[in-house]
């Protein structure tokens, strides 16, 4: 598969061999049943040898027959032949079991691979449609930690998957570069900042200042505001009040506050880009929260025009959403007229709708923000915008000691994680592949390290919480990226050794393991489409794991290079080549690279 940004819509398709087979089955079943019945075509469990099955129980009431009698009638009346995808039918326990015509289906799948090449698996579902994906979104002047990795890798994978489904994809890194946290940082810098230390180690030193501010604020006494609290304007804590004054200066354009803020932003972006480059992360836009600060007046104007807000006695503006089933109101303007996170996010939504006219706007943000996004997206509806916006939530990452907290300094820097993974991968390669050159080992170790970290996240449902565990994240056996990367490298080694002079003849593939693998490869387009529908990269990951297992079974039982006939050798090698193409394409959708030696 091409890089998602290189896929051309005119070569995208929706009609693969298994789609054609399913359509034939549904049409023939509908002819017998009459009318326009809903056909539940499914893949049966492993203990059933059939390739597809249709439960006949839903038709029993209208047809006034037992389910198995209906299945038998279908089996008797549906015609099959050499030109049909259906090979034979059987009625069993109320199900119509369908066995595919293996020679025809095999030839059709081979034809698909040859026709669509490295775009095999893509489809044109989203042709002419646009999606905006908001992902990663780290906070300026704070480290890129293990906690940031989920939004980053999930978002990039969803970006890739939607591109493969034909959509125009726009990735936006919505940086956290505004808010009361910068007042705290500006005040901390004023008290303890050292320019030389910051230049030498920018992000860690800025983090130290931020942590020191909160430690000192605790010592001073009074209620210290949380790092997310924008709602209150005064505090019992004098340091918090000083921080608010500094942010007010920044909002009003104070020259020195603005200079420092821009410096902190530039330092952070330089640091983030190093990580993004190493991870292979791509953005089309990097518009921080500050970009929308001057666009919030229109948000307030629209809220007032629609009459959906309530002006409180102190002058602040609330939107109550009880009638929409949300009992917690959302604050959109402080009593002094200042904006908040919600105001700026609503401004961002309106900007994206007007600028890109997207069919979907996606927010890849942790599940702890679920209520907040329910509120914002409901307000968007009430303001009269009908663009579909989706919160793609995910479970959080925590340490064994508990939830990570920037203000307490309890955080693991992602650069340390990836370096640890790299060193472990390098050590394994040094032990297992001493024949590789030092340069090859360094290159492969980087690919393996990045892949292992990404796959650890993407191979499970995004809604699950992840407890950060070095051993689990960096394991190099089991259902991991290194296992899949090694499977690919082994296949490429086999193909390099091959010297097949025979002809590729799909009809020669008669072993059950051959068709099992081929049929599994034919389901790759289905996995790509389903992953987009569910916003679920783990569907691709699990597909690849199971496909690798089926390939291992095939390779262990069916000789490839030692087959008796040179045409069989050539045909089996082509099947192996298709497996390699699917593995490479599937891993690419997850943002994971492959290597040809490992």
Lowest mean pLDDT among 210-224, 240-254, 575-589: 210-224
Residue 478 has what pLDDT?
82
Summarize pLDDT for 534-573 with one digit per residue, the tens. Answer: 999 999 999 999 999 999 999 999 999 999 899 999 999 9
Name the band, by pLDDT with cuts 50, 70 and 90, for residue 222.
low
- pLDDT, average across residues 520-546: 97
CATH architecture of 131-399: 3-Layer(aba) Sandwich (3.40)
Q: What is the pairing mode between strands 402-403 and 168-172?
A: unpaired
- pLDDT, average across residues 117-121: 93
Residue 598 has what pLDDT?
87
Q: Is the pLDDT of residue 190 over 60?
A: yes
Name the band, by pLDDT with cuts 50, 70 and 90, for residue 13.
low
Residue 225 has what pLDDT?
54
Residue 218 has what pLDDT?
86
- In DSSP terms, 88 is beta-bridged to 99
- pLDDT, average across residues 444-448: 96
Sorted by where each begins, the domain ranges of the chain are 17-105, 131-399, 414-589
CB contact at 8 A, 563 and 572: yes
Give the integer Cα–Cα distance in Å for 525 and 543: 11
Query: At which residue do the structure tokens 């109550």 appear?
Result: 320
- pLDDT, average across residues 60-66: 94
Summarize pLDDT for 159-169 with one digit per residue, the tens. Answer: 999 999 999 99
- pLDDT, average across residues 296-316: 94
Residue 397 has what pLDDT?
78
Residue 5 has what pLDDT?
40
**CA quadruple 498, 502, 504, 509: dihedral positive or negative?**
negative
Give the integer Cα–Cα distance in Å for 320 and 311: 11
- pLDDT, average across residues 113-139: 95
Residue 7 has what pLDDT?
44
Q: What is the pairing mode between strands 360-364 and 388-392?
A: parallel
Name the band, by pLDDT with cuts 50, 70 and 90, for residue 415.
confident
SS3 state of residue 399: strand
CA atoms within 13 A on the CB side of 107: 10
**The two three-digit tokens of residue 120, written as one number:** 């095999």
Q: Mean pLDDT of all residues in the chain?
A: 91
Q: What angle do CA 152, 259, 148 make, to 5 degrees?
A: 15
With CA atoms as reference, report the closest residue to 372 among 246, 164, 230.
230
Residue 140 has what pLDDT?
92
With CA atoms as reference, report the closest residue to 123 among 162, 77, 69.
162
Name the band, by pLDDT with cuts 50, 70 and 90, for residue 335.
confident
- pLDDT, average across residues 15-23: 94
- In DSSP terms, 403 is beta-bridged to 398
SS3 state of residue 483: helix
Residue 405 has what pLDDT?
55
Give the integer Cα–Cα distance in Å for 257 and 140: 15
Query: What is the percentage of the chain residues whose pLDDT exceeds 70?
Result: 92
Name the band, by pLDDT with cuts 50, 70 and 90, for residue 336.
confident
CB contact at 8 A, 25 and 43: no
Summarize pLDDT for 27-52 with one digit per residue, the tens. Answer: 999 999 998 899 999 999 988 999 99
Q: Render the burial of 321-333: b for 16+ CB within 10 Å, e for the rest.
A: beeeebeeebbbb
Residue 35 has what pLDDT?
85
Lowest mean pLDDT among 108-112, 231-235, 256-260, 497-501: 231-235
Residue with the bigger pLDDT between 333 and 2: it is 333
Residue 227 has what pLDDT?
46
Say what the pTM is: 0.91
Name the band, by pLDDT with cuts 50, 70 and 90, for residue 11.
very low
With CA atoms as reference, report the closest residue to 179 among 142, 135, 125.
142
Q: Is the pLDDT of residue 121 over 70?
A: yes
Query: What is the percentage of the chain residues whose pLDDT exceeds 90?
Result: 77
Give the integer Cα–Cα distance in Å for 530 and 535: 8
Give the integer Cα–Cα distance in Å for 210 and 251: 20
**The two three-digit tokens of residue 254, written as one number:** 């104070």
Query: At which residue do the structure tokens 């726009």 appear?
Result: 170
Q: Which fold has domain 17-105?
A: Gyrase A; domain 2 (3.30.1360)
**DSSP result, 90-130:** EEETTEEEEEE-HHHHHHHHHHHHHHHGGGTT---TTTT-E
Residue 306: how many other CB atoms lie within 10 Å: 13
Residue 406 has what pLDDT?
53
CB contact at 8 A, 393 and 464: no
Task: Write the Ramachandran bin of 35: left for phi over 0, alpha for psi from -120 to 50, otherwise beta.
Answer: left
Residue 81 has what pLDDT?
86
Residue 4 has what pLDDT?
44
Within 459-511, residue ranges assigned H as helices are: 470-473, 481-497
Q: What is the pairing mode between strands 130-134 and 95-100?
A: unpaired
Name the band, by pLDDT with cuts 50, 70 and 90, for residue 3.
very low
Residue 578: how many other CB atoms lie within 10 Å: 21
With CA atoms as reference, report the closest residue to 78 among 18, 33, 17.
33
Lowest mean pLDDT among 61-75, 388-402, 496-510: 388-402
Residue 9 has what pLDDT?
42
First to last CA, the chain: 21
The CATH number of the structural domain formed by 414-589 is: 1.10.730.10
Q: Is the pLDDT of residue 116 over 80?
A: yes
Lowest mean pLDDT among 302-311, 379-388, 410-419, 446-455: 410-419
- pLDDT, average across residues 98-103: 97
């Amino acid at each position: 598969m091409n890089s998602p940004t290189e896929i051309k819509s005119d070569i995208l398709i929706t009609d693969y061999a298994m789609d054609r087979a399913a359509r034939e089955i549904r049409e023939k079943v509908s002819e017998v049943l009459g009318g326009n019945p809903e056909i539940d075509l499914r893949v049966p469990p492993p203990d059933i040898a059939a390739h597809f099955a249709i439960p006949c129980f839903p038709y029993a009431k209208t047809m006034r027959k037992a389910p198995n009698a209906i299945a038998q009638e279908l089996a008797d009346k549906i015609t099959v032949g050499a030109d049909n995808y259906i090979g034979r039918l059987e009625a069993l326990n109320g199900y119509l079991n369908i066995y595919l015509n293996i020679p025809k289906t095999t030839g059709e799948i081979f034809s698909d691979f040859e026709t669509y090449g490295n775009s095999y698996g893509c489809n044109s579902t989203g042709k002419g449609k646009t999606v905006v994906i908001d992902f990663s979104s780290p906070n300026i002047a704070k480290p890129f930690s293990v906690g940031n990795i989920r939004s980053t890798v999930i978002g990039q994978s969803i970006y890739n998957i939607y591109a493969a489904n034909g959509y125009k994809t726009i990735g936006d890194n919505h940086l956290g570069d505004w808010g009361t946290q910068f007042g705290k940082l500006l005040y901390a810098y004023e008290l303890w900042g050292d320019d030389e230390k910051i230049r030498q180690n920018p992000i860690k030193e800025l983090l130290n200042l931020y942590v020191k501010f909160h430690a000192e604020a605790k010592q001073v006494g009074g209620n210290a505001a949380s790092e997310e609290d924008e709602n209150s304007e005064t505090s019992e804590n004098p340091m918090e009040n000083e921080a608010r004054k500094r942010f007010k200066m920044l909002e009003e354009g104070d020259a020195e506050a603005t200079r420092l803020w821009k410096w902190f932003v530039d330092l952070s972006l330089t640091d983030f880009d190093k990580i993004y480059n190493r991870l292979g992360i791509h953005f089309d836009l990097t518009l921080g929260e500050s970009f929308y600060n001057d666009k919030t007046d229109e948000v307030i104007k629209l809220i007032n025009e629609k009459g959906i807000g309530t002006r409180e006695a102190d002058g602040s503006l609330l939107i109550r959403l009880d009638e929409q089933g949300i009992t917690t109101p959302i604050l959109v303007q402080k009593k002094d007229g200042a904006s908040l996170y919600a105001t700026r996010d609503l401004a961002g939504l309106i900007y994206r709708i007007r600028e890109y006219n997207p069919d979907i706007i996606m927010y890849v943000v942790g599940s702890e923000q679920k209520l907040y996004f329910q509120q914002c997206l409901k307000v968007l509806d009430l303001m009269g915008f009908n663009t579909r916006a989706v919160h793609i939530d995910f479970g959080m990452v925590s340490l064994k000691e508990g939830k990570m907290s920037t203000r307490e300094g309890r955080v693991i820097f992602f650069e340390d994680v990836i370096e640890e993974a790299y060193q472990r991968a390098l050590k394994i390669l040094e032990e297992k592949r001493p024949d590789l050159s030092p340069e090859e080992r360094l290159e492969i170790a980087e690919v393996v390290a990045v892949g292992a970290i990404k796959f650890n996240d993407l191979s499970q449902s995004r809604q699950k919480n992840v407890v950060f565990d070095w051993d689990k994240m960096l394991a190099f056996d089991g259902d991991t990226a290194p296992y899949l990367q090694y499977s690919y490298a082994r296949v490429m080694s086999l193909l390099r050794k091959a010297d097949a002079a025979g002809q590729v003849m799909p009809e020669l593939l008669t072993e059950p393991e051959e068709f099992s693998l081929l049929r599994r490869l034919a389901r790759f387009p289905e996995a790509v489409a389903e992953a987009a529908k569910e916003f679920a990269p783990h569907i691709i990951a699990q597909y690849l794991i199971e496909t690798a297992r089926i390939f291992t079974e095939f390779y262990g039982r069916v000789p490839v290079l030692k087959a008796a006939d040179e045409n069989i050798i050539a045909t089996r090698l082509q099947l192996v080549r298709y497996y390699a193409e699917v593995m490479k394409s599937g891993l690419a959708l997850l943002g994971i690279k492959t290597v040809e030696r490992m």
